[in-house]
């Protein structure tokens, strides 16, 4: 049987409002029989206001009536399933990473390092990785940032702005996207010599007819042209 809430207050109410035995109240409230007797005598739980287990949703009225009719019957409390409901996990959209105030001054150095060493990482990835904005990234890339003269490109991991795992993942994703984009935009290679159009194909001239020579034709004098 699951333990009920406010056992002493519930015992006070049961003793004052029912004809249940001390043993029944003891079993239901999970209290010692002597403690229940002390509550009935006013020696224990003095000043505690009784708590109605029916209105608290801990027992039904039918259970109390059964217990009052049968002194050997122990009431069964209403049990609640506290197991959390399993719901389908939804992927939360992650916004820019929060950066502590003490480390925000290091973000331009980290952005410059990423722009120089990993151009395959997109601006949205940089924003999520170290918690910055796209205008800031563009100003550092274009060297229009107010801190350009003092920027020292530094690995964001060493600055504590992100973990090595997050950095490696961002680089991997950026490299895969770049490879797919390059493959899509690359010109198609020669897949073999293309067939020439029929119009460009060389025309085979007909062969001259073979002339069979006879003795007469061989010794016949040639006729001079007129």
What is the pTM for the complete model shown? 0.41
pLDDT of residue 113: 93
* Mean pLDDT score, 103-116: 85
How far is 145 from 108, CA to CA, in rounded Å?
Answer: 9
**pLDDT single digits (tens) 49-66:** 888 888 888 888 998 889
DSSP structure string for the chain: -PPPSSHHHHHHHHHHH----HHHHHHHHT--HHHHHHHHHTSSSTTPPP--TTTTTSS-HHHHHHHHH-TTPPP-PPP---PPP-----PPPP-SPP--GGGGGGHHHHHHHHHHH-TTS-HHHHHHHHT--HHHHHHHHTT-STTGGG-----TTTTTSS-HHHHHHHHHHHHHHHHHHHHHHSPPPP-SPPPPPGGGSPPPPPPPPP----HHHHHSPPPPP-
Q: Name which of 95-109, 127-141, 163-177, 185-199 the model is least confident about.
A: 185-199
pLDDT of residue 172: 92
How far is 79 from 3, CA to CA, in rounded Å?
Answer: 9
User: Binning pLDDT at 50, 70 and 90, where does residue 192 land?
Assistant: very low
pLDDT of residue 191: 47
* Mean pLDDT score, 99-103: 55
User: Binning pLDDT at 50, 70 and 90, where does residue 1 land?
Assistant: very low
Q: Torsion-angle region of residue 114: left (phi > 0), alpha (psi -120 to 50) or beta? A: alpha
Report yes or no: 31 and 56 within 8 Å, Cβ to Cβ: no
Cβ-based neighbour number of residue 22 at 10 Å: 18
* Mean pLDDT score, 186-200: 55
pLDDT of residue 23: 92
What is the residue extent of each domain of the chain? 7-69, 101-184
**pLDDT single digits (tens) 25-34:** 999 988 899 9
User: Binning pLDDT at 50, 70 and 90, where does residue 105 land?
Assistant: confident
How far is 103 from 109, CA to CA, in rounded Å?
Answer: 11
List phi, psi (to 5°) of 182: -65, -40
Name the average pLDDT for the chain. 78
Q: Which value, in Å, is the radius of gyration of the alpha carbons in the chain?
A: 47
* Mean pLDDT score, 144-150: 87
pLDDT of residue 194: 47
pLDDT of residue 98: 57
103 or 142, which is more confident? Answer: 142
| pLDDT over 80 (residue 144) | yes
């Amino acid at each position: 049987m699951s333990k009920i809430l406010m056992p002493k207050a519930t015992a006070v109410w049961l003793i004052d409002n029912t004809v249940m035995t001390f043993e029944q109240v003891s079993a239901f409230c999970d209290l010692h029989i002597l403690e229940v007797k002390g509550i009935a005598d006013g020696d224990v739980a003095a000043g505690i206001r009784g708590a109605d287990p029916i209105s608290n949703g801990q027992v039904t009225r039918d259970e109390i009536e059964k217990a009052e009719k049968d002194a050997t019957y122990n009431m069964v409390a209403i049990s609640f399933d506290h197991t959390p409901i399993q719901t389908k996990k939804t992927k939360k959209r992650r916004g820019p990473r929060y950066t502590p105030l003490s480390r925000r001054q290091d973000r331009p150095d980290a952005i410059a390092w990423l722009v120089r060493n990993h151009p395959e990482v997109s601006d949205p990835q940089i924003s999520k990785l170290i918690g910055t904005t796209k205008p800031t990234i563009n100003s550092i890339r274009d060297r229009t940032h107010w801190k350009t003269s003092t920027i020292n490109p530094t690995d964001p991991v060493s600055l504590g702005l992100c973990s090595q795992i997050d950095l490696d993942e961002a680089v991997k994703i950026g490299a895969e996207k770049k490879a797919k984009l390059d493959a899509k935009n690359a010109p198609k290679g020669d897949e073999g010599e293309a067939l020439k159009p029929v119009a460009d194909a060389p025309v085979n001239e007909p062969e001259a007819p073979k002339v069979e020579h006879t003795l007469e034709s061989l010794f016949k004098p040639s006729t001079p042209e007129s």
